[in-house]
Structure 1
């Protein structure tokens, strides 16, 4: 069954989740990581000046309420210059890129990097696939997360992605009790080893922060986390599920991608990551 989800819905789902994830971090964390944010042309622009992972400074959600233009991109880059952001990633659905995109990139010093896959699925399809699989994970228990495990959950989340714990774990933990977020954990022999959450916006559920620690992988934990969140999304009245993961390149294998495809997600499109860097002569 083909899932039809407009790029506008998929892009705004991710953008609003990422905006909330960062802007709702504790003030002490925002200060330590140099976090600022704004909205430009219907999209969100997020800066984390002290981000050692170079992951969190992102601009996305464009092309929905206003076209992507040279002026809009210049405004985004000016924001990053003013924030003294070392580097940032612009993520724009291919359908929203203007004809003069190569000229815009040349003017602003933007270069193409790796790509991500935007995945979509109807909630009913994901739940039906999860029920059909009916294979319990090996020794893994998945359940909604209690508030008292928030910091532990945030720590496991960043460790699963190979990120530093200091400050980043608190950023993740802050979402656990926030409205709109629905976190889940995966336990192996009493140890929290996996994370995943939903961000609900209207009838759309954004999958976010899904990861399992290396020593607990290969047991079906990630698939169980996906299935649990799909069932939760249906209970919450969501019709559509949205997720992202890295695109495979020749010779690589992304287990997360294949786990989602197995659960009924479909690749809606690949979206390049467009990289901007603060020019040394602007210091």
Structure 2
């Protein structure tokens, strides 16, 4: 199986997903969260001032249409400074980094943070899962409607450690968006695992797969991966991309291995480059 998705498109699709997720919130909620966004050519930057984790202060899509420039990066750093956030991440695919990257990073005061594994699969050549992943008896998977948005969002955000009510409300607000499909695994009527997929023309992006701790190791994420892959195929996408934490020596990331079993193939490991106030 070959993975031919351009790195620029893979990175742009990821940041467009985050941007669309955040800006789907009502204006009053965006104001309460101190949410703002910036476009620099094809690249996007997002800032959420009231997110203490700094996770959503992220920028990406660099190099999607033209080579990365120091001016592009400086504009993003200025944006973080203007928004009053303490830290922001700049996500740059290694194949798209300029040859003088070390000097550029030093000029802007960027330091290397955690690393992510970027993965992709070519939907034109990837076979349909047969048989599909098996769930526990009494468990089932399906799409999520507006009436289930808050429960779904609570599972998603709390599992990742974002427990503030405003952050849960942010996640609930993007359920049903036109470029998205949200899925849930239910044990009876209770949601125990969630996942989304974002559609960007030829490329789709896996977003925020999460399982409650007591429900892990029972096939939920494999079922969610398979459902989202088929949704992207039905949407006419050619590729689907995802990212998860890279494994260091002696580490084991179950999400990474679930993706590999589902048919994803590694593209590269991408450091997060951190700007700090």
TM-score (structure 1 length as normaliser): 0.93
Corresponding residue of 1:112:
112
Corresponding residue of 1:144:
143
Deviation of 1:2 (Å): 2.1
Residues 126-185 of structure 1: CA deviation (Å, up to 9, x unaligned) = 552x224x3411243111112210111111100121221411111111111211111111
Task: Give, in whole Å, the separation in 1 of the partners of 2:85 and 2:33.
Answer: 11
Counterparts in 2 of 1:124 and 1:223: CA distance versus 1, 3 Å: farther
SS in 2 for 1:167: helix
Task: Give, in whole Å, the separation in 1 of the partners of 2:53 and 2:88.
Answer: 11
Residues 88-112 of structure 1: CA deviation (Å, up to 9, x unaligned) = 0000011111122211221221100
Corresponding residue of 1:30:
30
Counterparts in 2 of 1:122 and 1:37: CA distance versus 1, 3 Å: same
Corresponding residue of 2:19:
19
Task: Give, in whole Å, the separation in 2 of the partners of 1:144 and 1:173.
Answer: 14
Deviation of 1:271 (Å): 0.7
Task: Give, in whole Å, the separation in 1 of the partners of 2:133 and 2:263.
Answer: 16
Check whether the contact 2:118–2:244 (CA below 8 A) recurs between aligned residues: yes
Question: Number of paired residues?
Answer: 276
1:232 pairs with 2:224: no
Counterparts in 2 of 1:184 and 1:268: CA distance versus 1, 3 Å: same
Residues 188-221 of structure 1: CA deviation (Å, up to 9, x unaligned) = 1321011111111112221111111111111000
SS in 2 for 1:16: helix
SS in 2 for 1:137: coil
Supply the RMSD in Å over aligned alpha carbons. Answer: 1.4
Aligned ranges 1:1-283 → 2 under 5 Å: 1-123=1-123, 126-128=126-128, 130-132=129-131, 134-139=132-137, 140-278=139-277
Deviation of 1:55 (Å): 0.3
Deviation of 1:59 (Å): 0.9
Check whether the contact 1:184–1:197 (CA below 8 A) recurs between aligned residues: yes
Counterparts in 2 of 1:126 and 1:221: CA distance versus 1, 3 Å: farther
Deviation of 1:9 (Å): 1.6
Check whether the contact 1:126–1:227 (CA below 8 A) recurs between aligned residues: no
In structure 1, runs of 5+ residues without a counterpart are 279-283
In structure 2, runs of 5+ residues without a counterpart are none
SS in 2 for 1:55: coil
SS in 1 for 2:161: coil
Check whether the contact 1:144–1:182 (CA below 8 A) recurs between aligned residues: yes
Counterparts in 2 of 1:135 and 1:154: CA distance versus 1, 3 Å: closer
